[in-house]
Structure 1
Amino acid sequence: MDERLAVVSGGGTGIGAAVARTLVADGCSVLVLGRRAEVLAATAERIGSETGRPEAVRAVSVDLTDPEQIGRVVEAVDGRPVDVLVNNAGGFHSAQDDTLAGIAANWRATLDTNVLTAVLLTAALRPALRRPGGRVILISSIAAQRGGGDAYSAAKAALHGWAYSLAAELGPEQITVNVVSPGYVAETEFFVGRMTPEGHAKRVAATLVGRAGTPDDIAESVRYLASPAASFVTAQILGVNGGSVLGR
């Protein structure tokens, strides 16, 4: 088999960067996607240096909410089979005002950032997914399971329902679709400017293991789902939250 190819959206920082580094270390070549070209380039260089495989990671600057830009990813794939697609792009949008227009704008932006990015990228790369053996992995959030994030919670929960449908469609082609749902991961940009010491302590106390998660915790879960060992695992929500939400 040719060297496996992985595509990781939101790959410039935090969880996405950790996932990309893990997959490169496992022998994949990886395309890291994101909107900030300089951040992506720096991350690609760092991953290449840390893994000793500078040729294995490439950065593609793209706004995945824009259908016209997604062709850049298809061009970068250049006809190769895609073994692993990790839809990690997303983010939290603060409501600007409580008017109906403001609410509508916030919900549209949140759904675009967290749902449409995954839908459009997956649709664009669906013909290229390796058959058999392709892996589609969506990064959700504990907010989808316990609420508390308003539009963000709803958007992440939407990924769960879509994953079930996509898994049913792709299963006959031996392509799996799964969701990783992280709990509180402190070392990301997600909480920049929004986390207090009290909030951190409260989230850690809510776990059963007494600590915050790390990007590497999430990356290890993705590593498993991306591996041949997970070929019989599909349409599942894997909670990686330290026990903050019990499995169901």
Structure 2
Amino acid sequence: MGERLAVVSGGGTGIGRAVAAGLAVDGLDVLVVGRRAAVLAAAVERISAECGRAGAVRAVVADLTDPEQANLVVEAVGERAVDVLVNNAGGYLGGETGTLAGVAAHWRANFDANVLTAVLLTEALRPALRRPGGRVILLSSIAAQRGGGGAYSAAKAALHGWAYDLATQLGPEQVTVNVVSPGYVADTEFFGDRMTPEGHAKRVAATLVGRAGEPDDVAAAVRYLAGPSAGYVTGQVLGVNGGSVLGR
């Protein structure tokens, strides 16, 4: 068992799995949280092999839009302090928007998936955050800064305001709160079967570096914010987008 513990929501695939793997390589024990048991089991096996530490990674199956299920994570943490909390769960949820009822359902679903999951998990684990030295990291999106995603953009933008508030509250306790805002990242489930070759090329062309992002690019930013070198960084939004949106 390592000395430090990280909890990563949405840790079964894509960016979340890359983050969990990176933190495990850095010596942290990692608790990955998600809704799909088989996906989480595969992630645990893969990450454990990559970091070479049997038992370093565990999984909790939970739907974090449900307060009762968020408490399952608290039970899995037990008496340990949480050194790093990475709120990565979320995604773009489509829906029928031809009626006001459909619009309401669509917006609520995106808010629940991207904001409520982070709020409930953070509030559930807030007493367990290590003081001093805890890290809370929220995964946002370039869509929060430039729009284009409708309800998804609005939900991710809400994380920024909440992060500023949370950083103000937890700063006196030496707990930092930051946001990582990825741009276009290939090799994730985000687009599903919606991505076309033309869409991929357009997004790559919008970068300054001429390539799509990879999950490890985002994981590297999270690992920095989770580490000792970032103790003086809080209340910030770190863009990882290849220059698609310049700093603001």
Settle same-fold status: TM greater than 0.5: yes
Aligned residue type for 1:175: V
Which stretches in structure 2 are left out of the alignment for 5+ residues?
none
Q: What displacement does 1:54 show?
A: 2.1
Amino acid at match of 1:231: G
* Conservation of the 8 A alpha-carbon contact between 1:47 and 1:54: no
What residue in structure 1 maps to residue 9 of structure 2?
A: 9
Letter in 1 for 2:208: L
Q: Deviations over 1:33-55 (max 9, x none)?
A: 00001100110011001111121
Q: Identity rate of aligned residues, in percent?
A: 77
Distance 2:224 2:205 in 1: 27
Specify the SS of the correspondent of 2:68. coil
The residue number in structure 1 matching 2:190 is: 190
In structure 1, C-alpha distance between the alignment counterparts of 2:174 and 2:97, rounded to whole Å: 46
Deviation for aligned residue 1:95: 2.3
CA distance in 2 between counterparts of 1:97 and 1:115 reads 20
- The aligned runs of 1:99-248 (5 Å cut-off) are 99-248=99-248
TM-superposed CA distance for 1:182, in Å, is 0.1
Cα distance in 2 for partners of 1:123, 1:79 equals 16
Give matches, 1:16-95, under 5 Å: 16-95=16-95
Cα deviations by residue, 1:141-199 (Å, 9 ceiling, x for unpaired):
00000000000000000000000000000000000000000000011000111111000
Aligned length: 247
Structure 1 contact 204–210 (Cα < 8 Å) conserved? yes
Whole-Å separation in 2 of the counterparts to 1:67 and 1:134: 23
Could you list the runs of 5+ residues in structure 1 that have no partner in the other structure?
Answer: none
* Deviation for aligned residue 1:98: 1.4
**Whole-angstrom CA distance in 2 between matches of 1:210 and 1:53:** 36
Q: CA deviation at 1:97?
A: 3.3
**Aligned amino acid, residue 221 of structure 1:** A
Distance in 1, Cα, partners of 2:209 & 2:182:
14
Inter-partner Cα distance in structure 2 for 1:31 and 1:103 = 35
